[in-house]
Amino acid sequence: MDSMDRPVTWSAPGKVIICGEHFVVYGVTAIAAALDKRAYCTVSPRDDSVIRISSKQVGAAEWRDGELVKESSKGVGNRLNAYHKMVSAILASHDRRKGVNVVIDSQIPRALGLGSSASIAVATAGALLDLLNVSFEPDDLAQHALIAESEVHYRPSGIDPAVTTLGGIIRFKRGVKPVRLEPPAPLELLVIETGKTKRTSEMVRKVAQFRELHIGIFDKLMELVDVVSQEVELAILNNRLERLGSLLTVNHNVLRIIGVSTPELDDVVDASISSGAYGAKLTGGGGGGTVIAVASSQNLKRIYEVLQRSYSVRRVRLPQEGVRRESSPVIV
């Protein structure tokens, strides 16, 4: 059976940024890791020119010749349009004149700083290129995903598609090939969701405004965060959890200075540390979202039990696998 005659399914993980978010946009080194929750995408061919994208979480929309022609409810087309633009660009670059059906099922909560949009984009790009019988490298998927990410986020750095493609724990610097770090032992994080969502693009603009007002201060903070990222990498590679936790807290305090933390996020960081964690920080865009915390293996279970009384908490073991081909299709 020709590959264009059958559906193809790929999946990609969510992510956390361990340190360096926001500053990574301006060239600072950041460290990020893939998570255990994944986004799944199945792509199948059509005989007409329609691109239909359906999501279990959002709804469905159809485009013909670049125009939205149908949506399951008002606003769905707008929410899925970033992926439509990416799919259209990939089809056009490979001279594919017929449409496709794209079916998405994401386990990753939206707007909580966990890389939902990048995971969907990477999984979709992988499934579509596979369907088209195109050979590709991981970096190709990350580059295609940036088409969608540029629609979803204001000035994306590229770190989200990079880590969701490669998996594991990576060092990322804009314009430089990402490097996957290999810790001597698995690392376990607590991932604590505040439940409050916020658009990353709003926070990126807020940071840009802070930079304009305080360029000298911002430049010094960039130098500091770059050093923190270097120290975080060493702590991970040497399995020094206490040092890693302390560095997370330093990075969180810098993020507070530039205005992307919130009282809710600060409360979670404080609760994590007072419960026995070595340190904690917001992860992702801020303004709401998620906190990560590091603790000793002896204390991790007790801290988890304390925090889950007030928050949605998960224990995540790192490293996790990156983008991959799946055997079972997504069905909506």
* Cα angle 98-102-108, degrees, rounded to a multiple of 5: 155
User: Which are the contacts of 220, defined by CB distance < 8 A and separation ≥ 6?
Assistant: none
Dihedral sign computed on CA atoms, order 246, 248, 249, 250: positive
Instruction: List the pLDDT tens digit at each of the 332 positions of the chain.
Output: 345 678 999 999 999 999 999 999 999 999 999 999 999 999 999 999 999 999 999 999 999 999 999 999 999 999 999 999 999 999 999 988 899 999 999 999 887 889 999 999 999 999 999 999 999 998 999 999 999 998 887 778 899 999 999 999 999 999 999 999 999 999 999 999 988 877 788 898 999 999 999 999 999 999 999 999 999 999 999 999 999 999 999 999 999 999 999 999 999 999 999 999 999 999 998 998 899 999 999 999 999 999 999 999 999 999 999 999 998 887 65
- Asked if residues 190 and 292 have their Cβ atoms less than 8 Å apart, the reply is yes
Beta bridge partners of 38: 13
- For domain 184-318, give the fold: Alpha-Beta Plaits (3.30.70)
Domain boundaries, the chain: 3-180+320-326, 184-318
Which residues are annotated as catalytic?
160
CATH class assigned to 3-180+320-326: alpha beta
pTM equals 0.93
